[in-house]
């Protein structure tokens, strides 16, 4: 039976959420959390002999130390396979899964596999060097993720031939291989065209990269006379989050009046953002949305004035499509209000 070591974060180990993201790496014998789903999928072909647990903040803030310690933990079990995650659309978890999977692959020379949502930053960082199974954007897709990850994991461990990304379910890694189709290209192309013309779904055989290139506007001619607005994806909202903006995968944004507000205080503002420790942002929301500094610039004549309204949403796990829609909508308002420049802040 194949031996597997599994890597998960503090959330999936049931230690806690963001408040426990600082916990250092530890190893536990056998299965923890989502490992049970992998056990069922593996059947008698493989078993998870150990689970490495590490807080997302700890891993990313102590990168070299975390990698070194986890490598030693994995080496102890001499596994045939290393699985990380799946991380879905959790950004720091995805980066951690990709980083440790790459380290295990490079230093121990064993097959590795992880899984995450295609918009996870970890997917973009490691898709060309690792097999990363494409998952849904939240843990609600765990069953679907394991269903795709387990067969591919067994193939990797058994050193079997790996098929195309479309066949195996991993994110395309830029490698192309020749193979024979049942129908010639011209016939397949006509079929796709007919589907497109009739409004039916079709899948292209040659997807083109979609680069979102934004041409920079000309520099502001005189910043001392400019109206400057603040926009943030850091989730700074009035106390109580009146618009109920989600802490992850936001479906909305808020527009808030700061006329006469000289400073964002702990009593009046907060962050709605998940995925990072909110303590410092809540203690002083100006750390994310610098109203205090902008008021100083306004008073000193370094800018013309600060716009009366600011716009806020949460960037954590928010789909690019939604983010573009938000910006398209409020950009029209900013232009009609005579705003000359926008400062966009994140976490």
Lowest mean pLDDT, pick from 44-48, 72-76, 179-183, 223-227: 179-183
pLDDT over 90, % of the chain: 75
Structural domains for the chain: 2-168 (3.40.50.2300), 223-345 (no CATH)
Average pLDDT, the chain: 92
Q: Residue 109 above 70 pLDDT?
A: yes
Is residue 210 scored above 80 in pLDDT?
Answer: no
Model confidence at 259, pLDDT cuts 50, 70, 90, reads very high
Across 228-248, average pLDDT: 94
Name the burial class of residue 56, with classes exposed (0-12), middle (13-18) and buried (19+) by CB atoms within 10 angstroms of its CB.
buried
pLDDT at 18: 81
Mean pLDDT of 136-148: 93
| 8 Å CB contact between 317 and 275 | yes
Confidence (pTM): 0.68
* Farthest CA pair distance, the chain: 72
What is 70-127 written as a DSSP string?
Answer: HHHHHHHH--SEEEE---TT-HHHHHHHHHHHHHHHHHH---EEEEE-TTSHHHHHHT
In which element (H, E) is residue 344 found?
strand 341-345
Q: Select the more confidently predicted residue: 138 or 207.
A: 138
Cα distance from N-terminal residue to C-terminal residue, the chain: 45
pLDDT at 149: 96
């Amino acid at each position: 039976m194949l031996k597997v070591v599994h890597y998960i974060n503090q959330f999936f180990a049931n230690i806690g959420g963001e408040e426990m993201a600082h916990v250092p790496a530890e190893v536990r014998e056998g299965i923890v959390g989502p490992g049970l789903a992998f056990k069922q999928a593996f059947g008698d072909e493989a078993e998870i002999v150990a689970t490495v647990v590490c807080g997302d903040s700890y891993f990313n803030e102590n990168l070299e130390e975390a990698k070194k310690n986890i490598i030693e933990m994995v080496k102890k079990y001499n596994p045939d396979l290393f699985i990380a995650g799946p991380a879905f659309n959790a950004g720091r978890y995805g980066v951690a899964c990709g980083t440790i999977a790459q380290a295990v692959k490079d230093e121990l020379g064993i097959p590795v596999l992880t899984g995450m949502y295609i918009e996870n930053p970890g997917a973009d960082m490691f898709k060309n060097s690792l097999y990363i199974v494409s998952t849904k954007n939240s843990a609600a897709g765990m069953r679907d993720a394991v269903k795709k990850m387990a067969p591919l994991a067994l193939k990797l461990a058994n050193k079997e031939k790996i098929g195309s990304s479309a066949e195996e379910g991993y994110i395309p890694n830029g490698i192309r291989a020749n193979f024979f189709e049942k129908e010639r290209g011209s016939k397949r192309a006509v079929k796709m065209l007919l589907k497109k013309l009739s409004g039916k779904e079709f899948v292209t055989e040659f997807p083109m990269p979609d680069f979102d290139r934004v041409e920079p506007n000309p520099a502001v001619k005189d910043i001392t006379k400019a109206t400057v607005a603040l926009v943030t994806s850091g989730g700074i909202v009035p106390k109580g989050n009146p618009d109920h903006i989600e802490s992850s995968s936001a479906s909305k944004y808020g527009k808030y009046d700061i006329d006469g507000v000289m400073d964002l205080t702990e009593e009046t503002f907060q962050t709605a953002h998940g995925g990072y420790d909110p303590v410092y942002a809540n203690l002083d929301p100006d750390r994310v949305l610098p109203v205090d500094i902008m008021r100083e610039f306004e008073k000193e004549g370094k800018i013309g004035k600060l716009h009366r309204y600011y716009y806020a949403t949460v960037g954590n796990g928010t789909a690019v499509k939604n983010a573009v829609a938000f910006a398209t909508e409020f950009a029209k308002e900013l232009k009609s209000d005579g705003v000359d420049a926008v400062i966009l802040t994140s976490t």
